[in-house]
Structure formats: structure tokens, C-alpha cells
Chain A
Amino acid sequence: MEKQGRGQFRDGPAAESLRFGRRFMMGDAPRGRIAERFARLAAERRAGFIPYVTAGYPTLAHTRELLAGLAEAGADVIELGIPFSDPMADGPTIQRSSQGALDQGTTVDDAFAVLAELRESSDVPVVIFSYLNPVHSRGVQTFIRRAVDAGADGILPTDLPLGADPPLEAALEACPLDLVRLIAPTTSPARVREIAGASQGFVYYIARTGVTGARAELRGELVREAGAVRAASPLPVAVGFGVSTAEHARAVGAAADAAVVGSALVDRLDDGGVAGALELARELRSALNEVRPG
């Protein structure tokens, strides 16, 4: 199976090539599982739901329960966040969850271990969401191998913009994981096309100039911007940063292929535990089922 790069998702591998059982075999890298999921969403004419989880927050046991619950609740892709000491692209909520996870002693290996456990019960695609230093520190090839062995499908480094480190980017592009790229509202149209063309699996559109965090309102221009990115991108487009409510999800889901929800879920985890977070997840899932990108 080929890793799904530019322009390939719409005619990606057929579902039967990912038959249950085969995907859990040793050495069978989970290539294309993200593309497969987006192809299915497109066929079913509904928008995708991508929850974000900080590994180890508030404890690894919670993460284990949350990941299984999110898969059960119909997550299309899960972003598994590796906690980092200096999350410069994150607002107070993810700063708190990251620090909380580190205070619990959560390591990169712990994050991979909970992912491997999830793989015993679910084939939901998982993207490793990480700042670059934990990847760099481990050695990029070692990090990739561990991630693939644990059952990851993609990697999204927050602080590795296109062109920042060509050898490192080439290593990630060539590996079995999809290298998911970010596009920001400040990105020029020419660069939008460049990034979308270089991304793998899907493209992540950042909903606002700023850091992560739940918000009461989405920007009015977001729908138009997401539409423009989608038009320029051969890959499906997910939108995140500030997407917090079912209403937001419906708005995003009408303009893009999927909505990413992070801080709002972490906030709900704080207030209502895993049950509360899963309740919000089901609301978001249901809202996104009602819409499809135009």
C-alpha cells in the first residue's frame, strides 16, 4: 500500500485492503488509514471529527479510557499530543494539560504505550501531535520507528513549517507516517498551494492567528478562508484552533472536511471527567454528521 500523498486521497485504497486483522500484523505499517477514513467520509457525505488528547493528562489511565471512548464515539482521526515543557503555540488550556502530564511523569514512551493499547481495540487513525524537540531528541528515525510500531498513522510537528529543515522534512515525508502540514491565516496563497501540495494525509488549517484555546465565537471570515484552502488543496482540509461547540463544528464542517477540537475537550475533561469529555465528543460527532462540506 502506498502512503497517500498529494492528490491521492479521493481515489485512495479500497476499504477491503484494510481488512480487520491484517492491520495489526507486525511490520505492516498502517499506511493510508487516514486517506481511507477521509475517503469514507467523502463517500458518506459528512464532515470528520478529529479530537485532540494530551497524553498523560490528567493521568495515563484517563488517556487510555478517553482514547477508547473517542474511538467508540466516532472520532475519525485522533490527535495524540506529546506533552512538551514549552508549548509556544498553545494557550492556557493545553499549557495546563501539558504541564500536568509532565508533572505526572509522562514520557514519550508512555504516549506510545497508550496508543499501542488503543490498537488492541480500534483502528481509528492516530496522528502524533508534537513539538519538534521530543522528536529531535529521540532521533527522528527512532521516533518514527517507535511511533509506527505503536500504531501511529501520522505526525504533526507544530514547529516545523515547510522549508524549515529540508533533510528532516524529507525523512518524515519518506517514512510510513503521514506528515500533516499546517496552514495559517497569514500564509500567502502561493505558499498555501505549496504546503497543501507537500502535506500528507490531510491539511490542517489554523482557524485564527493565535494560540490554541476554546473560544466563544469563530471568526466570520473563517468559512470563506477554509473554503479557499480547500479549493487550493488536493488533500482534505481539517480546521482547528478555537473550535469548541456543536455550533462551531457545524460551521466548520460545512466549509472543510473535518473539525479539530482540542482545548474544549480538555476543559470538559477538567470539569466533567472522561464521561463529560465523551459527552461533548458525541455532541460534536452528531453535529458534524449533519453537515457536509460543499
Chain B
Amino acid sequence: MTPSTPHTGRFGPYGGRYVPETLIPALDELAAAYAKASGDSGFLAEVDRLAEDYVGRPTPLYRARRFEAEAGVGPVYLKREDLNHTGAHKINNTVGQALLARRMGKPRIIAETGAGQHGVATATACALFDLECVVYMGTEDVERQSLNVYRMELLGAEVRPVDSGTRTLKDATNEALRDWVTNVADTHYIIGSVVGPHPFPLIVRDFQAVIGREARRQILEAEGRLPASVVACVGGGSNAMGMFHAFAGDEEVALIGVEAAGEGLGSGRSSAPLNEGRPGVLHGSLSYLLQDADGQVAPAHSVAAGLDYPGVGPEHSHLKDSGRARYVSVRDGAAERAFRALPGLEGIIPALETAHALAWVVEAGRRGEVEVPVAICLSGRGDKDVVHVAGLGDGEAGSGDGEAGPGAVP
């Protein structure tokens, strides 16, 4: 990785450190440790070495020709973060933060997880560095991502189900913050997305920015030009920030974040704060937020547990307001169809989260709205979702518009 620049903790007006006083020293300590580490060539070299030897980087940028034919859009490149160790982009961040925790002398790690991918990636990094690991996970997610619960336990982590509130990622994050407030002396909180109080949105983005750096280089090699569009799904927004960051200065590249519209914008059953929310404070930072008129956080919904979150990273809010990025949305059904289609077309089972980005390219491509070449962040693999999608039946695919490919999951 490359050194990061000093930072104020704000992206435009967004971000900040809206936390209980108890956490302020820990955030100061983390910001200082990160500033030091990110200027330390030894640390940066160790992150790079682990990325190569352990995570399996660089990941390929793969041209998906059968997907192109099916969607009628091309060239389409998939940045294969699903091929990382543990099957998603999340490990780029957890290995880096676990190294930071070791430098800070914190023997205990906590994390929140929605889909379970960040929990698995955290448990993995903790096994690697011999750190104690506790992962908070909403009981609804424990149910729909049971495979990942078992993986975390195999890796030596303790999974603590969270039964409060909406029993999903939001509440798992509350509980992780409560643990951190209580055990802050010996514990580092590895936040899984570009959310939370400063310096987390900055640290997570920097560790994930390797995705876009590689993709930019790779597409220049393959196409001799930059992509016209870069597309990624956005829950908290870590894979999207990781993908976007290297292209932020390339004004000719359209940055497109795909939020989860759930059962539809306006239905009250969605997870699209950049489309439907307004600025508010949750989990330590100011950002777009789903909330009611009284400032109570509104429950989110998405078929993809990793997108089922009412907030979003503050840098995305700034990219939206500045117009540098565009945020669109895709409904559960379209994401499920893309999930079922890609395996038969390309031999790749995408995560349901990732399927939102694929589905947008299909839908917008049909309307002639996708500038090509397009690079999509294939943020994770979908093995974790197979049982859940199979359980949904094929109603969505069957009643849809025939988008499901030949290899659709039965």
C-alpha cells in the first residue's frame, strides 16, 4: 500500500467523531498509530507481503464475455475480489487492521458483521496473528448466514448473537461499540466498512484502495484506456470506496454506487440512504441516514445481509453531494436474478451484495445507460447465499423477464 496523507476526519461536512467521551483516547491512539504506520515503509511492506502471500493479491480483472452477450453491454470487466482468501474484499482491511492492533499492543479484537464475510475475514486475521476475536452478529443474520457463523467458530472466534433492535448489522455495530466502550484498554475494534468515527472511514478506505489501484492498472493494460464506468455495490460502502478511490482523480471515469432498493424505493423496506435518506449521526459519524422525522433510525431491509444497513460511509455522502459519484439502486428481485444468472454464464457465483452491481449493469445496459468499458467490483463469492436463495424459491426468477441464465440455481 501507499502512505496516506494526514486527514481532518471530515469528507466535506461528513464524518467526524460523534462518540461517547470514553472512546476519544482510543480514537486518538488509533489515528496516531495509523499515521505512524502509514509512513513506515516496514509496515507498508508487511501489508503488501501479506496481500501477496496470504490474501492472494493481485486479484484478476476478468473480462466476462458471456455476461456481456447476455446483458448486451461490453466490454465488462469483473474485479475478482471473490478470489481473495476467505472469498471477499473484506480481508484487505482486516489483515491491515490486525497488524495495526498488534503494533498498538491490543491482544483482543472485536468486529461486527452482517453477511458474515467481515466476521470471517476478521476471525482469519486474528488466527493468523494469534489475537482473541469476538464477532457480533444480528440474530437474523446468524440465521440467514449460518455457514459463515460456523466458519468463524472454526477459525477460533466467538460469535455473539445480537437480539436487539432490527437484529441485523446496525444492531451488531451498536453492540460492538458497547463492547469497545467497556473493554477499550485492551481491545481494538476492526470496523468492517468505511463507516464509524474518524479515523475508521479513512483507514478502511486506504486498506481497500488496493482494489482500485490494481483494477486501474489492469484495465489500462487490457484496454489501453481507463474504464468509462466503475460500478460497485454500496452498503456501508467499503468495496465501493476501495474501487473508486484510485479513479477519483480521473474525471472521465463515471463512479456508480449501487444501493439496495430492497422491495423498492419508497416501500419502507429498502437500504438506500443515499437515495432516500438525509444527513444524520449514527455509529459515530455524520452521513446520509435512513431516519424518521424525529431522528430515529429507520429499519433497513435488503435480501443481502451485507447491504442491510440504514447508514453509509461519510465519504460516499461527500461524493454524492459533490457529484463525483452517482448512487443508483437495485431491488431484491433483480439482485436475485443476477445472482442466479452469473453462475451459468461465467462459472462464478457472486455474493448477493455483489449481485446488486451486476443487476444494475444489466438493467441500465438495457436502457442504454452504461458507458463502456465498465469495471464492476465483484466484491465477494456467493457460496454463503446459496442456501438462502434456494429457500426463496424461483418465484422472482420465474416471474421476471427471463434474465436468469442457463445455470440459474434451481
Contacts and interface: CB of A to CB of B under 8 A. Distances in A.
Interface stretch (A42-50, A130-138, A245-253): A130-138
A137 B280 contact: yes
A187 interface: yes
Contacts of A191: 24
- The interface residues of chain A, by DSSP majority, are classed as loop
Interface residues of B, number: 37
B181 A165 contact: no
B392 interface: no
A159 B296 contact: no
B164 interface: yes
Given A158-B20, A159-B284, A86 B25 contact: no
Contacts of B170: 86
Interface string B283-294: 110100101011
A159 B20 contact: yes
Contacts of A74: none
Interface residues of A, number: 42
A87 B280 CA distance: 14
B18 interface: yes
Most chain A CB within a 10 A radius of its CB, from B17, B286, B293, B294 = B294
A160 interface: yes
A107 interface: yes
Contacts of A137: 280, 291, 293-295
A97 interface: no
Interface string B330-363: 0000000000000000000000000000000000
Contacts of A95: 164
Contacts of B296: 84-85, 102, 133-134
B21 A134 contact: no
Interface string B4-25: 0000000000001111111111
Contacts of A162: 21
A211 B281 contact: no
A183 interface: yes
Contacts of A187: 21-22, 24-25
Contacts of B279: 136
B24 A161 contact: yes
A165 B297 CA distance: 21
Given A86-B297, A159-B284, A133 B181 contact: no
A84 to B, nearest CB: 7
B293 to A, nearest CB: 7
Interface in A180-216: 181-188, 191, 195, 206, 209-211
Contacts of A186: 21-26, 184-185
A89 interface: yes
B293 A88 contact: no
Nearest to A188: B25
Nearest to A131: B281
A99 interface: yes
A97 to B, nearest CB: 13
A159 B294 contact: no
Most chain B CB within a 10 A radius of its CB, from A99, A136, A160, A164 = A164
B174 interface: yes
B41 interface: no
Contacts of B182: 209-211
Given A89-B20, A159-B284, A183-B21, A134 B178 contact: no
Contact of A86 (B16, B26, B174): B174
B129 to A, nearest CB: 25
A206 B185 contact: no
A132 B17 CA distance: 12
Nearest to B293: A137
A108 interface: yes
Contacts of A100: none
B17 A164 contact: yes
Contacts of B16: 164-165
B20 A88 contact: yes
Contacts of B291: 133, 137
B295 A88 contact: no
A227 interface: no
A276 interface: no
Nearest to A109: B294
Interface string A84-126: 1111111100010001001000011000000000000000000
Contact of B280 (A91, A136, A181, A185): A136
Interface of A: 84-91, 95, 99, 102, 107-108, 131-138, 158-162, 164-165, 181-188, 191, 195, 206, 209-211
26 contacts: A84-B296, A85-B297, A88-B20, A88-B174, A91-B178, A107-B294, A132-B281, A133-B282, A133-B297, A134-B295, A134-B296, A135-B295, A136-B280, A136-B281, A158-B20, A159-B18, A161-B17, A161-B18, A161-B19, A186-B22, A206-B21, A206-B22, A209-B182, A210-B22, A210-B181, A211-B178
6 closest A-B pairs by CB: A137-B295, A134-B295, A184-B22, A210-B182, A133-B295, A85-B296
Interface of B: 16-26, 164-165, 170-171, 174, 177-178, 181-185, 279-284, 286, 289, 291, 293-297
Given A84-B295, A186-B184, 17 more contacts: A88-B178, A91-B178, A131-B281, A134-B294, A135-B295, A159-B19, A159-B20, A159-B284, A161-B17, A161-B18, A164-B17, A164-B18, A187-B24, A188-B25, A209-B182, A209-B185, A210-B22
